[in-house]
Structure 1
């Protein structure tokens, strides 16, 4: 995706209140789509569309965790970003997204540093 397209895509998804609520809520703790639907006061199909949009832009990650009540697993979502910056340099807009490092990436860097 070109940087111009990425700026437009990120701006479009952040324009949506449900997407913003998903990002803020999942920055506190991973949440299921059902919980997000309740927190966003939005239908599950709307929440799933926004989750897809956010995952496509790598602003959100999907995780599987055990469900202590049902004995199964459930899918939860967590924010994958810390900061989005848009800068005006040399007459052009530049987008940068600071993402949270993946736990596997942090472990790899730790081992490589030894």
Structure 2
């Protein structure tokens, strides 16, 4: 679940590393809607193995959200979508760098999925 206090925010370096990667830029720019890793690989002309590494980098940095798409045949797949609107790096009064990630509002179904995820962690 998203924490307004920022407690669940990623490490500064993880975000900087992801934003400094050209393949990650291509992936972010191609995700106008949720896509599978295979679809992203094809759209960005990046080998699938590289695509998975970049998706890990982007999800670790909390710049992409990974969602499971349930299928009737039992073969579920991960879908990826952009999970930020703005990223800002600021210099604080103490001369330290501060990272702020502005996120899109969660849809009701995303809130429900987040709540269930938290409940499963507790049990």
Which category describes the TM-score, using the shorter chain as reference length?
A: 0.7 to 0.9
Q: Pick the aligned partner of 2:20 from 15, 19, 25.
A: 15
Structure 2 distance, partners of 1:25, 1:75, is 16
| TM-score using structure 1 length | 0.73
Question: 3-state SS of the aligned residue for 1:11?
Answer: helix
Structure 1 runs of 4+ aligned residues shifted over 6 Å read 105-108
Question: Which blocks of at least 5 consecutive residues in structure 1 are unaligned?
Answer: 109-114
Work out the number of aligned pairs and report it. 102
As a proportion of its length, which structure holds more strand? 1
Is residue 95 of structure 1 aligned with residue 99 of structure 2? yes
Question: Which blocks of at least 5 consecutive residues in structure 2 are unaligned?
Answer: 1-9, 113-123
Measure how far apart 1:43 and its partner are.
Answer: 0.8
Structure 2 distance, partners of 1:106, 1:39, is 26
> Equivalent residue for 1:40?
44
Q: Deviations over 1:64-98 (max 9, x none)?
A: 3366xx89643211011111001122222111001
As a proportion of its length, which structure holds more helix? 1
| TM-score using structure 2 length | 0.68
Structure 2 distance, partners of 1:63, 1:106, is 9
